[in-house]
Structure 1
């Protein structure tokens, strides 16, 4: 199941079954039509509680793509996110004990 995380006012919210591109499109369209709008999200872990966030052009909102825990993609090493190409290990299997 894909879901998108939203940070708003220092809190974390989620939108299930929607990717980042569609959430961004909804926000863009909402602000194009009105000076502000309500974005429906879920709040909390486990049993989520429905919530609405008031979004305006001055609202800082972060839209974050979350990956499924069962979903593995090639090169899933953490090194690909934090290390420049020239410092990445040759093998994804290489760990601290192997260096």
Structure 2
């Protein structure tokens, strides 16, 4: 896995050098916990800065895996890209 993009509260963050299943398990654990739990992510382009996201019910969070160059090389889609949002 090259990286995992996280969209949290409408902002984009990323996580590198972690497996998708581990990140999903951390998120599920954080949401199930009665104590505040934080997800460590990167924020920014170029030289990313460390950021912490509070895992809590009611906050929109999306997890988007970004495969490395050779991970999905044999998979090609003929589907056109979705239209741009307005």
Task: Give the structure-1-normalised TM-score.
Answer: 0.68
Please tell me whether residue 13 in structure 1 is matched to residue 13 in structure 2: yes
| Number of positions where the alignment pairs a residue of Structure 1 with one of Structure 2 | 79
Match of 1:40 in 2: 40
Deviations 1:49-90 (A, max 9, x none): 00011120211100010112x3252133x41xx36xxxxxxx
Shift of 1:33: 2.4
- Give the greater-gyration-radius structure (CA): 1
Richer in strand (by share): 2
Gaps of 5+ in 2: 81-86
Structure 1 residues not aligned, in runs of 5+: 84-99
Give the structure-2-normalised TM-score. Answer: 0.77
Larger relative CO (CA 8 A, sep 6+): 1 or 2?
2
